[in-house]
Amino acid sequence: MFWPTLAPPRKSEGVMTTERRGPFSFERPFYWSFQKLEILEKYATAAARILGKYHRVTFVDLMAGEAQYSSGDLGSTGHFAAIAAGNAALGRQVRCIAYEANDRAFAMLEANTAQVRALVEVRHARWETEVSGLLSDLRGDFALFFVDPMGLRDIPWSALEAIVRRDASELLVNFASPTAARLVGKWRSGTPTAAGDKARLDAVYGGDSWIVAAGQSTTSGGELHERLARHYAERLASVGSYSVARQTIRQAGARGRPKYHIMFASRAPLAFEIMNGVLAGQTERLRLEALAATSRIPEGQLSLNLDTESVEEAARRLLVERLAASFVHDESLRGRPMTVERLFRSAFSSR
């Protein structure tokens, strides 16, 4: 049963599994799942804490899964629920809307969030068929949409575009660039499924502009992954006037094979800076983990243990300096404390 006081993501029994146990397995998170959940939890916590004082904040999990793994680790909706519960205790308006189409996963989602039903609304539907009603329900809320498909399934551009065009919205999207590259390769090779593969890519990108973006027929591997991810980010940016930050999520450590690109799209420069800080922090953590592994440093002797106060404080100081430098022209902020909260709030005040 889900409890809103559960801690942020943790390593289940000291093991981060890479073994799949079925298409809708929620036994325990994969290695790459910890990376995406870390990013989601840190940014969503900041957004709720800052914006929840002034607006109702709605987290929208478009492919929610079960909210919590059998291991006890929180999934995306579980994190949103925990953040909402913590903010509710402080009088802030934060909620979550979670979609899940799979019958079994929805039953678990419903059960795992039963005790926080006032904060988490679960919907048994495919999100792409519900966009119009969803946007109407959100009204003037600030909304963070989390889009976490299996491969490239269930992210038709025709449905996502309506969300991208909405004001007061941000997106966190897991884009399976290796899957896109594989489909491009099959289409180039003229396999029996080539026509279907092209149609699938057209649906994801909202047209065939990916053909030019993919480059020459000899482009492959990491370069092709990067080209396809960059073009998807460009599509998001062009339609919604967003800035888009992206980072490669790997299967195992800093040097593992790419699993997907996680992308964050926002119209607020300061929100973009805060997410860049989150992404940079994770990159540094993975680098230190890789260094410890290659240096054969016993885990207990690694002095920089993911979120030490010194690393967090250094990152905070750097962020404040960057934000302050970007807002020196703003007359309304001159002579006032240049805090991250004040700057971040000002970025959304016109929405």
The DSSP-derived string for 289-319 is: HHHHHHTT--GGG-SS-SS-HHHHHHHHHHH
* Distance, CA of 252 to CA of 92 (rounded, Å): 38
186 assigned to some structural domain: yes
Q: In the structure, what pLDDT confidence band is assigned to residue 13 with cuts at 50, 70 and 90?
A: very low
Lowest mean pLDDT among 92-96, 213-217, 319-323: 319-323
- Residue 28 CB: number of other CB atoms within 10 A? 19
Strand-strand pairing, 120-123 and 142-147: unpaired
In whole angstroms, what separates CA 46 from the centre of its chain? 14
pLDDT exceeds cutoff 70 at 74:
yes
Query: Within a 13 Å sphere around the CA of 238, how many CA atoms are in the beta-carbon half?
Result: 9
Q: What pLDDT is stored for residue 348 in this prediction?
A: 47
283 assigned to some structural domain: yes
173 assigned to some structural domain: yes
Number of independent structural domains in the chain = 2
Q: How far is CA 21 from CA 25, 27, 45, 47, 120, in A?
A: 6, 8, 30, 34, 27
Token pair 């919604």 is at which residue?
A: 240
Contact (CB, 8 A) for 261 and 175: yes
pLDDT exceeds cutoff 80 at 128:
yes
Give the mean model confidence (pLDDT) for residues 114-136: 95
Q: What pLDDT is stored for residue 3 in this prediction?
A: 39
3-state secondary structure of 69: coil
CATH number at residue 120: 3.40.50.150
CA nearest neighbour of 73 among 143, 2, 129, 130:
2
User: What is the token pair recorded at 122?
Assistant: 């679960």
Amino acid at 11: K
User: Distance between terminal CA atoms of the chain?
Assistant: 37
107 and 244 both lie in a single domain: yes
Q: What pLDDT is stored for residue 326 in this prediction?
A: 45
238 and 251 both lie in a single domain: yes
Give the mean model confidence (pLDDT) for residues 39-43: 91
Mean pLDDT of the chain: 78
Domain final position from 221, 253, 268: 268
3-state secondary structure of 205: helix
232 assigned to some structural domain: yes
Does pTM surpass 0.85?
no
235 and 342 both lie in a single domain: no
Q: What pLDDT is stored for residue 328 in this prediction?
A: 38
H-assigned helices in 113-170: 131-138, 157-164
Domain final position from 218, 242, 268: 268
